[in-house]
Chains A and B, each alone.
Chain A
Amino acid sequence: MDIELMMRVWPFFLKAAWVTIQLSVLTTILGLICGASGAAARLSRLGWLRFLGAAYVSLFRGTPALIQLFILYFGGPQIGIQLDAFEAGVIGLGLNIGAYMTETIRGAIVAIDKGQREAARTLGLSHFQAFRKVTLPQALRLMIRPLGVNINALIKGTALVAAISVIELTYTAQRYIGSTYKPFEMFFLAGVLYMIIIYGTGRGIAWLDRKVRIV
Chain B
Amino acid sequence: MTEQRHFVDIRHAQKSYGSLEVLKDISLTVERGQIVAIIGPSGSGKSTLLRAINDLDPLTGGEVWLDGVQVNKSLPHRQYEKHINAMRQQIGMVFQHFNLFPHLTVRQNVTMAPRLLKGISEKEADQLAEEQLAHVGMLERIDYFPSQLSGGQKQRVAIARALAMKPKLMLFDEATSALDPELVEEVNLVMKKLAEEHMTMIIVTHEMDFAASVCDRVLFMDGGVVVEEGPPGVVFRNPTQERTRNFLRKHLEGAK
- Assuming A123-B162, A125-B113, is B89 touching A214 (CB within 8 A)? no
B161 contacts across to A, CB distance below 8 A: 123
Q: Is the CB of A125 within 8 A of B147?
A: no
Q: Which of A2-10, A15-23, A132-140, A191-199 contacts B (4 or more CB under 8 A)?
A: A132-140
- Assuming A118-B56, A215-B148, is B89 touching A123 (CB within 8 A)? yes
Residues 22-63 of chain A, each 1 if its beta carbon lies under 8 Å from chain B, else 0: 000000000000000000000000000000000000000000
Some 16 contacts from A to B, beta carbons below 8 A apart, are A115-B97, A115-B99, A116-B99, A118-B56, A118-B95, A119-B95, A120-B101, A120-B113, A121-B88, A122-B54, A122-B91, A122-B93, A123-B113, A123-B117, A125-B85, A215-B147
Instruction: Answer yes or no: A156 CB below 8 A from chain B CBs.
Output: no
Report which of A118, A127, A133 forms a contact with B99, defined as CB distance below 8 A: A118
User: A122 to chain B: closest CB distance in Å?
Assistant: 4
A129 contacts across to B, CB distance below 8 A: 116
**CA separation between A120 and B108, bound complex, in Å?**
13
Known contacts A124-B165, A138-B102; 15 additional CB pairs below 8 A are A119-B99, A121-B85, A122-B54, A122-B92, A122-B162, A123-B88, A123-B162, A123-B165, A124-B89, A125-B116, A125-B117, A129-B116, A138-B101, A214-B103, A215-B148
- Assuming A122-B93, A123-B88, A124-B117, is B147 touching A134 (CB within 8 A)? no
Q: Which residues of A contact B (CB under 8 A)?
A: 113, 115-116, 118-127, 129, 133-134, 137-138, 141, 214-215
Q: Is the CB of A124 within 8 A of B102?
A: no
A125 contacts across to B, CB distance below 8 A: 85, 113, 116-117
User: Of all chain B residues, which has the CB nearest A45?
Assistant: B77
User: B63 to chain A: closest CB distance in Å?
Assistant: 20
Q: Interface residue count for B (Cβ, 8 Å)?
A: 28
B21 contacts across to A, CB distance below 8 A: none
User: Of all chain A residues, which has the CB nearest B93?
Assistant: A122
A127 contacts across to B, CB distance below 8 A: 81
Interface residues of B in 52-104 (CB under 8 A from A): 54, 56, 81, 85-86, 88-89, 91-93, 95, 97, 99-103
The 9 closest A-B pairs by CB, nearest first: A124-B89, A119-B99, A123-B113, A115-B99, A215-B145, A122-B93, A124-B88, A124-B85, A137-B103
A119 contacts across to B, CB distance below 8 A: 93, 95, 99-101, 158
Instruction: Answer yes or no: B199 CB below 8 A from chain A CBs.
Output: no
Instruction: Answer yes or no: B112 CB below 8 A from chain A CBs.
Output: yes
A118 contacts across to B, CB distance below 8 A: 56, 95, 99
**CA separation between A115 and B51, bound complex, in Å?**
12
**CA separation between A142 and B88, bound complex, in Å?**
29
**CA separation between A141 and B99, bound complex, in Å?**
18
**CA separation between A141 and B145, bound complex, in Å?**
16
User: B116 to chain A: closest CB distance in Å?
Assistant: 6
User: A127 to chain B: closest CB distance in Å?
Assistant: 7
- Assuming A123-B113, A215-B145, is B103 touching A141 (CB within 8 A)? yes
User: Of all chain B residues, which has the CB nearest A123?
Assistant: B113
User: Of all chain A residues, which has the CB nearest B91?
Assistant: A122
Residues 149-161 of chain B, each 1 if its beta carbon lies under 8 Å from chain A, else 0: 0000000001001
Among B54, B113, B148, the most chain A Cβ lie within 10 Å of the Cβ of B113
Q: Is the CB of B162 within 8 A of A214?
A: no
B102 contacts across to A, CB distance below 8 A: 138, 214
A137 contacts across to B, CB distance below 8 A: 103
Q: Is the CB of B99 within 8 A of A126?
A: no
Report which of A113, A116, A120, A214 forms a contact with B145, defined as CB distance below 8 A: A214
Q: Is the CB of B101 within 8 A of A116?
A: yes
Q: Is the CB of B85 within 8 A of A126?
A: yes
- Assuming A137-B103, A214-B147, is B93 touching A124 (CB within 8 A)? no
B100 contacts across to A, CB distance below 8 A: 119
- Assuming A121-B88, A133-B116, A138-B102, is B95 touching A115 (CB within 8 A)? yes
User: A13 to chain B: closest CB distance in Å?
Assistant: 43
B56 contacts across to A, CB distance below 8 A: 118, 121-122
- Assuming A133-B112, A214-B147, A215-B145, is B81 touching A126 (CB within 8 A)? yes
**CA separation between A141 and B101, bound complex, in Å?**
13
**CA separation between A200 and B162, bound complex, in Å?**
45
A122 contacts across to B, CB distance below 8 A: 54, 56, 88, 91-93, 162
